[in-house]
Amino acid sequence: MEDEPPPSQGVSVKVLKATLLSALKMLDVGKWPIFSLCSQEELKLIRQACVFGSAGNEVLYATENDEVFVLGMNCSGCLGTGDMQSTIEPRRLDSLCGKKIACLSYGSGPHVVLATEEGEVYTWGHNAYSQLGNGTTNHGFIPCQVSTNLVNKKVIEVACGSHHSMVLTSDGEVYTWGYNNSGQVGSGSTANQPIPRRVTSCLQNKIVVNIACGQMCSMAVVENGEVYVWGYNGNGQLGLGSVCNQPTPCRIAALQGIRVQRVACGYAHTLVLTDEGQIYAWGANSYGQLEPDDHLTVAQSLKKEFDNPETADLKFLVDGKYIHVHKVLLKIRCEHFRSILNNDDEIIEMSEFSYPVYRAFLEYLYTDNIRLPPEDAIGLLDLATLYRENRLKKLCQQTIKHGICEENAIALLSAAVKYEAQDLEEFCFRFCINHLTVITQTQGFAEMDHDLLKNFISKASRVGAFRN
C-alpha cells in the first residue's frame, strides 16, 4: 500500500471542512468554487449543502422548501441523477425531495451514503464491492434506501472508506458493509460484506458516539472517550504501535487517560479531538499532515485554513464580466497558474481569450467535460495549448472532430495547423479530401490563408485528390 497521496487525490478533506464549518455556522456557499456555476437567485434559496468528491467537484444541496439538487462531475453515477452525465446546471433528485438531510459521506470509489433526519439511509454510485449495502454488486444511479438490518433503527451518522461504508444508530450501534480485504468492516474475516451487519466484538456492550473511515480502515469513539479501530494499518493509521492489519475493533491503548470527543480520518492518517481541545495525529506523514500548530481548536484551525491567501476566492475579469474561481483549485488543476498565483491579488484581468472561452474553461475545471460548438472549441483549444492542459486539448479536438462539416472544415483545419494539433490536422485534412467538391465552393475555402492553401493543394495532390 502506497503512502498518502497528494491533496488532489484520494478522499477530499473538503467534505470534513464543509461538515465542520456548517456546524460552526461559518459556511458561506458562495466561497465554494463549485457554486460559481449557480446563479445568485439559486444561491439565495440554499438552506443546506455538502461539497464532496476528490477535488470538491460535486455538490448536493437542499433548498428552503426541502427540494434537493446536485451538480458537478458524475463519476460512476455519484450525482444520483440516473445517468452518468456531468452537469453545470442544477438537477433535482426527486427521490430525496421533501426529506431533511442529516449527513452525507463520500467514498472515492466513488459512492455516496446519506442519512435523513428521520434516520433513513440512502446510497448510490459505484458498487463493485457491495458498498451500497443492497446485497448486489450492481452500480446504483439513483438514491435507494438501505433497509436490511436497519429496520426500526435511526441512523444519526454515516462514513465511507474508499469502498466500504459505516453508519451509527441513535442507540450507539455501528453497522458496516462493503469491501473487506483488510478487515475494515470489522467482522473478523476478509470476506466482503454485501449488506449492513452490526460490528460487535469489543463494541458489543459499548455505546458509540462518533465514527470515521479512512481509505480501508474504520474508527469509533465510545461514550467514555475511548477510541476503537480496525482494518488496514500499513501506515500505522490505526495507532496501535504496529503496521499489522486488525480484523476486529481494538482499543488504542496509547490514548489511555485521554478523553476523545471526535475522530477524523484522511487517506492514511488519523486525527482525534480531545475534550480539552487538543489534537492528536498519527499515520502517514509524507506530506506533513501530522504537523498541526499546537493547541489550536478545531474552529481556530479551520479559520486559519480559510484565512490563508492561497485558498482565497479569485475573480477573473474578462470582457467586463467576472468569473469566480478558487486559487487552490487552479493550483491543483492547471499547471499554468501554479507559478503565477503566489500573490494576494483578488482580481486577475484576463485578456488573451473571450468570456465564453473562459466560461468553458471553468466548466472543464469543475466537471472535466466541455460543452460548446466546434467553432468555439477552437478558442478553447488555443487556451489549452497556451496553458499546457493536454487533457483539455484532447477534449477540444474530440469536440471539433464530432462537429466538423463542409462549411466549417477549412476553419477547423486552419485552427489545427495553428495550434500544432497534428492528429486533428490530419483528421480535418482527410475530411476535406473526402468532401473536396463541396468544400472548394465554400466561403472558408475562398478566404483560405495563402500559405495554408498552397500546402493544402500540395498535400492533396500527393494523395491523388485531383486525378480524373
The mean pLDDT value of the chain amounts to 83
Exposed, middle or buried: residue 253 (CB in 10 Å: 0-12, 13-18, 19+)? exposed
Res 83 pLDDT > 60: yes
Confidence label for 343 from pLDDT (cuts 50, 70 and 90) = low
Which residue, 281, 61, 283, 15, is CA-closest to 160?
A: 15
Compute the average pLDDT of residues 137-152: 95
Helix (H) or strand (E) holding 44: helix 40-45
Which 3 state secondary structure label does DSSP give 396?
A: helix
Give pLDDT, residue 345: 64
Which residue, 196, 57, 192, is CA-closest to 113?
A: 196
Burial of 156-192, coded b for 16+ CB within 10 Å and e otherwise, reads bbbbbbbbbbbbbbeeebbbbbbbbebbbbbbeeeeb
Give pLDDT, residue 168: 97
Q: What is the pLDDT of residues 146-178, one digit of tens each?
A: 999 999 999 999 999 999 999 999 999 999 999
Which residue, 411, 409, 408, 383, is CA-closest to 395?
A: 383
| Record: fold of 308-373+381-387 | Potassium Channel Kv1.1; Chain A (3.30.710)
Confidence label for 260 from pLDDT (cuts 50, 70 and 90) = very high
CB 370 within 8 A of CB 364: yes
**Phi, psi dihedrals of residue 44, rounded to the nearest 5°:** -65, -25
Confidence label for 321 from pLDDT (cuts 50, 70 and 90) = confident
Res 19 pLDDT > 60: no
Query: Three cell numbers at 323?
Result: 468569473
CB 75 within 8 A of CB 110: yes
Does residue 110 have a cis bond before it (omega within 30 degrees)? yes
Q: Please tell me which residue, 249 or 415, carries the higher pLDDT value.
A: 249
**Phi, psi dihedrals of residue 288, rounded to the nearest 5°:** 75, 20
Res 35 pLDDT > 70: yes
User: In percent, how much of the chain has pLDDT > 70?
Assistant: 85
Q: At what angle do helices 409-418 and 450-462 cross, to 10 degrees?
A: 100
pTM of the predicted model, to two decimals? 0.64
CB 219 within 8 A of CB 261: no
**What CATH number should be reported for the domain whose range is 404-468?**
1.25.40
Helix/strand/coil percentages in the chain, nearest 5: 30, 25, 40
Give pLDDT, residue 307: 46
Domain with CATH 3.30.710.10 in the chain: 308-373+381-387
**Alpha-carbon distances, residue 173 vs 140, 198, 210, 211, 230 (angstroms):** 26, 7, 10, 10, 16
Residues in CB range of 35: below 8 A, 6 or more apart:
29, 43, 49, 59
Res 294 pLDDT > 50: no
Helix (H) or strand (E) holding 148: none
Looking at residue 420, its amino acid is: E
Query: Three cell numbers at 89?
Result: 446546471
Confidence label for 338 from pLDDT (cuts 50, 70 and 90) = low
Residues in CB range of 244: below 8 A, 6 or more apart:
233
**Phi, psi dihedrals of residue 17, rounded to the nearest 5°:** -60, -45
* Domain 13-306: which CATH number of 2.130.10.30, 3.40.50.300, 3.40.47.10, 3.40.50.11750: 2.130.10.30
Res 230 pLDDT > 90: yes
Q: Please tell me which residue, 41 or 81, carries the higher pLDDT value.
A: 81
**Phi, psi dihedrals of residue 49, rounded to the nearest 5°:** -150, 150
Whose cell is 498535400? That residue is: 459
User: In percent, how much of the chain has pLDDT > 90?
Assistant: 42
Compute the average pLDDT of residues 4-9: 36
Helix (H) or strand (E) holding 345: none
Compute the average pLDDT of residues 317-323: 80
Domain with CATH 1.25.40 in the chain: 404-468
